[in-house]
Each structure stands twice: as structure tokens, then as C-alpha cells.
Amino acid sequence: MTNASELIDATPSAALLIESIRDIGYSIETAISDLIDNSISANANNIYINLNDDDVENIFLEIVDDGHGMNRNELIKAMTIGAKDPRIIRDKDDLGRFGLGLKTASFSQCRKLTVESNFNDEINSFTWDLDLVREKNNWVVIDNKKDNLAPGTKIIWEKIDRADFKLSKINTNSILKNIDNHLGLVFHRFLEGINLKSEKLKIFINGSEVEPINPFNEESNATLKSAVSTFKYNNSNIYVQYFILPHEDMVTMEEWKKFEMDGGYIKNQGCYVYRCNRLIVSSTWFGIMPKLATTKLCRAKIDIGNDIDSDWKIDIKKSTAYPPKSIKNFLSELIINNIESKGRNVVNKRTQELIKDKDMKLWVPIRTKRKITYKINRKHPLVKKLLNNKENLLILKLLENSIPYQEIYGEMCDNSASVIGWLEEDKNVLNDVKQLIEIFRSDNVPEEIIKSEVEYILIRSGIQFNEESFLEILK
């Protein structure tokens, strides 16, 4: 062994490394989001995403903004891999992280990236062609002939080989719809105009404007909102607010479906982490508690700054994050002591409210120290009529002891179907309800109790009704 030190050249192969960079793990939605971050940082008011798939052999995607653009030196720096130190202190509204997003996001989807920019009528254009890099085995970009360009920046993806646009028109439309939904959620604050800018951001996909998707239904009077809690972490403030979304019975079907979002309420419960108003992570409890049917309406909003990125383990894609231990402990206490119980109450309370007279509840819980079961209420007016017959009583007991609890719970947790009292396809539901009304009235049941019972039955049936049709049924 020698004591002499020698430095060995370990410069990586450009051809090999750039192919590895392509596999960081972007989806097309997260890739486009990363590019939009740059447009927002450039103070763009309008962003246009255009997919040209008329020629299946030459599909290309453009992202055009009206931001302040880049001069020649800035554009060269933007096209250079590793030109920005992620450790430097950035502007508090800077959505960037590593200075790699433009390249890594683009390379994850295509083999040819062109960026054109107009800064004060100075137009520059450069291209990364991965096939050329492979041929030359060198980090080279093409300095393009200048073309006309409105103020702002245009990004062009060519040789798209990772997104399946070529498969079919239906598949392409599905991909574009997924992009639309993703951008509407990730950038909903900017689209709503609640960021620090004076104008609302507008994003267009093939001419159609992206609508904001606010996951908290904050405008509804039926949404329960907590006060904003502040947690001090080092020199940074973290703000947390939780929401209990309205029960299905308290909103229209359209509103219920809107805030269900892709995957349903059980899947989309959890924490939503915003960094500089941009959504980073959604629908996770960070392992604090499981996603249960009883907490499906619970969502928490967490705001952090860009000065604690490393503490939150935010990745290059800005699509994953995990709280430091002290913050997780704070969230655990907040969630377990407040959110979980309040969410469970909203899910269970509505059913209890609909039938105010306990004698009108058809099913009643029977609780022991460690067990719970449900029995048919013997005081219910309809059940009373059955108790005169021993055979009917035996049938009641058989029904009580054969409730498929596990199957029902499994369906609710799966969230693939709503568990309801009647199927909408049952044409006899309304006739059955009207017969029940007649029986109740013959037994001198008060009209107010009849009304609540009928409302409960209709809601559980899944049948849509309004005030007018409801009154018509009660006639």
C-alpha cells in the first residue's frame, strides 16, 4: 500500500448517464407539472399545453407561457444539467428545488427537448437531442436558428416514447383528461387566484381551460373547518387546518361527485401538503392512522415553505414528501385527538338525525363491553304488527343473526360501490314507500315522524328527489 494520493478521472459517460436520468420516476402528469412550476416562477399568467397527434409518426407536445422569458445566458444555464445548487437560499415563492426539473421531467417522456425563449425581444433557442448525445457521447445542445416567438417561453417535446399517445384517440383523450385533473388539483390555488399574484393563472390543454380542483369544499356551509394551527419548526412556520367534508345527504349528487375526486372518498382522505401554494403530496396520513370508511370525509391542509425541503425529504419530482419526527408527532396528536373523532361523528350522526323518534329506528345497536350487534326494534309500528305471530318472530331473529357485517364493511372500504337500502333499478320503491305511509297514518303516527322516516328511506335508496317530488310522495 502506498501513501501517495492520486486523483482518478471519474467523468461519467454522457450517453449512459443521460439514459439513466430518464428513469427517475416521472409520470407524464408530474413531468408537465414540473415544467409549469418554471412558468409560474416566470410570472406567467397563461400557459398553453398543446398536443399535436395528427401525424402518429411525429407526435409532439408544446408548453407555451407568457412569462418574462430568459436571456441567452439564463437559457443556457436552464438547459445545463446541474447548474443550480439546491442548498442555496431561494426566493420564498420559488417553486424550484434542484434546478433539474426542466431536463429530467422532459427526458422522462421524450428524446428531443427544445426550449425557445423571448426576453425583451431577444430570442434564443436550444435543443437537447438524446440520440445526438448518444452518438457524440458528450453533453452537447444544439443552438438553433432563431424564429419568431411572442414574449415568454416555449417548450417542445419531440420523439415522445414514454407516453402511449400513439395507441388510439381514446387513449390519448384519457391521458389528456388525467393531465387536466392532475393540474387542476396540484395548481388549484393559482387557478383560483389565491396566491400572491394579482391575476388568476390560466392553463389550457388543447384549447380547453383547466378548472381548479379544491379538495376541501371550503365554500360549503356544511363543511366543518378547524382554526389554523401553527407549528414552529426551526425558523420556519408550518400551518395546519383540517376539514370534515359534508355527508352525502347534505350536498347535491353533483357536489358529492366533484369532491369525491378520482378514486373516491376513502382513497382521498388524509393530508394535503402545499409548498409555496403548490400541492406536493395528497391524500396520505403519513402512517399515523389507516384509511377507514369512518374517516373518509377527513382532510387536512398543511402549508410549508421552501426553506425546509431537505427536512421534508422532497424529491426531484416534487411529488413525495415526509414530515420530520417532531412535525409528525404534532400531526399525530392533532389527527388522533380531533380529526378522527369529528369525522366519525359526521359519518354516523346524519343517520341518527334523520330518525329523531327512537321508536321509528328499525335497527338499534346492542352493546356489551367488547361487542356490538344490531337488533330489529320491537317498538317500531310495523314490527309490532309482526310480533303477534311466532313464526314472524323467528324470522326476525334469523334476519338479525345473519347480517353480513364483514361483507358490508368490505364493500365500504373498497369504495367501489355505495351501500344503499334499495337499488335504483327497483321500480317498486316508491309504491312501497307510499304503502308504508298509509300504514303509519292508520296507526296515527305523527306526520313529522312520517316525514323523517320517508326522507331516511329515500336517501338510503339512492333515489334522487327534490322538495317538490318529496311533498308529492307524502300526499
Pairing mode, if any, of strands 298-304 and 270-275? parallel
> Which band of pLDDT confidence, cut at 50, 70 and 90, is reported for residue 178?
very high
> Which band of pLDDT confidence, cut at 50, 70 and 90, is reported for residue 137?
very high
Q: Residue 417 pLDDT more than 90? A: no
The residue extents of the domains of the chain are 14-209, 224-353, 358-474
Cell, residue 447: 306526520
14-209 classified as CATH 3.30.565.10: yes
Give the tens place of pLDDT for each residue, 227-244.
Answer: 999 999 988 999 999 999
The pLDDT of residue 412? 60
Instruction: Compute the chain's Rg from CA coordinates.
Output: 29
Q: Which range is most confident: 254-263, 342-351, 370-379? A: 254-263
Question: Which residue do the cell numbers 444539467 mark?
Answer: 81
For residues 418 and 428, what is the distance between their CA atoms, to the nearest angstrom? 20
> Which band of pLDDT confidence, cut at 50, 70 and 90, is reported for residue 273?
very high
Q: Residue 394 pLDDT more than 70? A: yes
Strands (DSSP E) found in 91-151: 110-119, 122-129, 142-143
33: left (phi over 0), alpha (psi -120 to 50) or beta: alpha
The pLDDT of residue 5? 82
Q: Residue 56 pLDDT more than 80? A: no
Give the tens place of pLDDT for each residue, 446-470.
Answer: 777 777 777 766 665 656 666 666 6
Segment 161-185 shows an average pLDDT of 85
The pLDDT of residue 215? 96
Q: Residue 313 pLDDT more than 70? A: yes
**b/e sequence 90-121, b meaning 16+ C-beta within 10 Å:** beebebbbbbbbbbbbbbbbbbbbbbbbbbee
Considering only CA atoms, which of 267, 284, 245, 290 is closest in space to residue 415? 267
Question: Which stretch of 181-190, 365-374, 391-400 has the lowest confidence by average pLDDT?
Answer: 365-374
Full-model pTM: 0.74
Give SS3 for 389.
coil
Give the tens place of pLDDT for each residue, 89-115.
Answer: 555 555 544 457 789 999 999 999 999
For residues 28 and 162, what is the distance between their CA atoms, to the nearest angstrom? 8
Residue 354: Cβ within 10 Å count: 18
For residues 273 and 281, what is the distance between their CA atoms, to the nearest angstrom? 5
For residues 274 and 329, what is the distance between their CA atoms, to the nearest angstrom? 19
Question: In the CATH scheme, what is the code of domain 224-353?
Answer: 3.30.230
Give SS3 for 183.
helix
pLDDT, greater one: 103 or 473: 103
Strands ordered across the beta sheet of 46-52: 142-143, 122-129, 110-119, 152-160, 60-65, 46-52, 202-205, 208-209
